[in-house]
């Protein structure tokens, strides 16, 4: 089946720093999402981004489907950005069964 | 604006006991999903439904059953709980085809411990 790899697995930043998280996938995908899981376990959808670039405040994401990767950019990081970031991809249209990567654990220090 | 609601939030079961987890969504979403999350891992799909009265198996369906008798509810059942089913269970929903945005809305999770 499809492999979803995220890098780096762990990241520690000083508040105010910028970072780039990467998601590589082994097959063509129709759909891709980025999620943030906060320290209390809540999963929040950040972007639905099957292709192209989107921005939402300090966060932006780019997916290059033809090259099988997606990037999540975090600028001017804050302690509230801490948690785990998951990339999830879906191969098939119509059912939207997403396969999740193992995540990037981010810790932002004050 | 409740979104996706999961009950219960926490549960401890003895091996062999049964229980049902309830997921309710008020967004009129067609599709619903049950995932489990184990420590240090991503989420794995257990079962899903593409509409009222339909269910299908995901990646790790063994030991679980599901039902979707009403569009807004998706139930996950454990008939005979095993310690390997200790996990955090997440329900999610999404719109059907044609909406243009197939992103998930997740519930807050159910932490299940089987002893």
Confidence of residue A110 (pLDDT cuts 50, 70, 90): very high
Q: Quick one: pLDDT at residue B41?
A: 76
Alpha helices in chain A (DSSP H): none
pLDDT tens-digit series, residues A77-109: 999 999 999 999 987 665 678 899 999 999 999
Partner residue opposite B50 with nearest CB, options A86, A95, A101: A95
Note if the bond before A8 is cis, omega within 30 degrees.
yes
Partner residue opposite A43 with nearest CB, options B31, B56, B90: B90
Q: Which residues pair with A62 in a beta bridge?
A: A53, A71
- Whether A62 has a pLDDT exceeding 90, the answer reads yes
Subunit contact A98:B58, Cβ cutoff 8 A: no
- Whether B99 has a pLDDT exceeding 80, the answer reads no
The chain-wide mean pLDDT, for chain B, equals: 92
**CA B32/CA B106 separation, integer angstroms:** 10
Chain A interface with B: residues with Cβ < 8 Å: 4, 31, 33, 35, 41-45, 47-48, 86, 88, 90, 93-103
Q: How far apart are the first and last CA of chain A?
A: 40
pLDDT tens-digit series, residues B33-67: 999 999 877 899 999 999 999 999 999 999 999 99
CB pairs under 8 A between A and B: 58
Subunit contact B43:A94, Cβ cutoff 8 A: no
The chain-wide mean pLDDT, for chain A, equals: 93
Task: Give residue for tokens 């780096």.
Answer: A8
Q: How far apart are the first and last CA of chain B?
A: 36
| A74: exposed, middle or buried (Cβ count in 10 Å: 0-12, 13-18, 19+) | buried
Query: In terms of Cα–Cα distance, which of B115, B56, B64 is closest to B89?
Result: B64
Subunit contact A95:B48, Cβ cutoff 8 A: yes
């Amino acid at each position: 089946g499809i492999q979803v790899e995220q890098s780096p697995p762990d990241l520690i930043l000083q508040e105010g720093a910028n970072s780039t998280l990467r998601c590589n996938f082994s097959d063509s995908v129709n759909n891709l999402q980025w999620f943030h899981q906060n320290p209390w376990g809540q999963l929040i959808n950040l972007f639905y981004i099957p292709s192209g670039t989107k921005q939402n405040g300090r966060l932006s994401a780019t997916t290059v489907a033809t090259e099988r990767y997606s990037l999540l950019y975090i600028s001017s990081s804050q302690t509230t950005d801490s948690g785990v970031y998951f990339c999830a991809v879906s191969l098939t249209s119509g059912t939207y069964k997403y396969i999740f990567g193992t995540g990037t654990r981010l810790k932002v220090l004050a | 604006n409740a979104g996706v609601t999961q009950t219960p939030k926490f549960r401890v079961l003895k091996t062999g006991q049964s229980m049902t987890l309830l997921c309710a969504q008020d967004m009129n979403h067609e599709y619903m999903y049950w995932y489990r999350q184990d420590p240090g891992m991503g989420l794995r799909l257990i079962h899903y439904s593409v509409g009222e009265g339909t269910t299908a198996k995901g990646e790790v369906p063994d030991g679980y059953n599901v039902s979707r008798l009403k569009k807004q509810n998706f139930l996950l059942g454990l008939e005979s709980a095993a310690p390997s089913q200790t996990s955090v269970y997440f329900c999610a929903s999404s719109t059907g085809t044609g909406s243009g945005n197939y992103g998930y809305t997740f519930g807050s999770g159910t932490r299940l411990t089987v002893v």
